[in-house]
A and B are shown apart, each in its own frame.
Chain A
Amino acid sequence: MKIEKGREISAHEKVDRYRSIIYAGASGDFNPIHIDPEFAKKLGLGGSILHGLCTLAFVAKSVTDCTGDPGSLRKLSCRFSAPVLSGDEINISGSVAEVQDSRGRIDLKVVNQNGLEVLQKVVAEVDA
């Protein structure tokens, strides 16, 4: 699909109970804060937390689902600002802020079900 200024992107992910375990297996990141709810609670977290890179992968997917080509993503960056827990909902929304030299820059907002930003400064660049 064509990337032009103002084009909107939105996606929604419900974080199922075992997502962080499945992602740990696929990514190789078995840090106990992601797979052991008791361990995570001892650290003052509400339970085991989803890998930030999994949330960021959901963002990448929302962008490349829009372009229709996973090879079209050129840049992606963010700051991890709040933990994502199982049962949370992640809402991704954004739009193409500008297109220049065959590149589209997309500014995104990534919030949970309470409107809290779980990622900040989320920017993607794609081939336009």
Chain B
Amino acid sequence: MTSEFDTGVGELLRRAYDLNAAPTPGLMDRVRETLAGAGASRRRARLSRPVAVAAVGAALLFLSVAAYAAGRFLRAGELAELMDVPGMAELFEGQDVIELDQSVTVGEYTFSLRAVTRSEQDVYSSSSEDRGHFYAVVAVTRKDLEGLEEIPPREYSEISGDVTVTPLVKGCAPWHVNAVFNSNVLYKQYEGAAYIVADCDDFTCFADQGLYLGVCTGRYVSEDAFLFDETTGQITANPDYRGASAVFDLPLDPTLADSDAAQTLLERADSLYPDDGVVYEPMLDEPSWERSQRLFLWSMGQPVPGTERTMTPDENGQCVYETVYDGRTVSRTFTWREEAETGRLLILNEAEGEWSPVPFDDVVCVDVDAQPVWGIYLTVDEDLTFIAEIVTLPA
């Protein structure tokens, strides 16, 4: 029997996943080899990657550039303190940091490249196999939000969820090589600006070709965000892009280039994304929990007036939400704790017996087809005041 999940978008999803994906013979051989090796000796098996990426060990040598940190933005070191990631503050206070003040205004948005640096060890990883990491700080402001101490949650969510930062290399089509750089972003809002700490594998092995940092709005970046000139190899922002995009030149010393490492990366890109004439979307974003929750519950759901409660947890980390809605009394006890590794606030989901990050949603009422009808939406502000309310979900 065909369920509602298998029609429309469901049908497309079935085809978008590859039901015939299979491990390559090479991968299976490596696994068998490792298992056999582990059987012969007592040491724990460690599998190697098929293609090793050469580490870039050169000292950091940035070209001298003008560095006029505008007073209205946080310095990279100050931002790193707020990010609360172990080692990040030291990284952005280190001698390798180059503070920059390159700004581009496109439509309502102003993108400002604030700083770049690199390190041998990734601050997010304790792996001994790290191969050098690159970091950049970008501030994003929106004209209609300028001057605000705090960006309203919905707008901040839009900015943080809809702005993506990516490394680009002159002479390389973005959609061909970007996959091998392992890019990530981390967001923070502070006094009217959304800050992004972008990180990726160290790609300074291409420094002699020219390096860029691309920034764009959009749920994910399509080839429309940037223009790639196949003749000159230059990458520029596409003025006709439906959102806003910008490309910053990274002023890195060309002597950082490492042709062998660059060649290895290109071969890896070739193997992952063969240049078969089909243009792929270069990357996509993964909305944070905050964004996705708000996207769904706030953009599509309707808060019920009169059901909002502000709560302060007791000494056991618990607070009780009570209201009356739809002719019934709704009562929930929320227990929170802070996740040691990330500092995130987590709420105990008693029904599922697991901890979930805030904002937290709890579907209270479902219809006969088990579709959610309404539930409690819980947020928390910075001084640990919990705010919960009933939200009705769209049919």
Chain A complexes with chain B: no
B residues sitting closer than 8 Å to A (CB atoms) are none
A residues sitting closer than 8 Å to B (CB atoms) are none
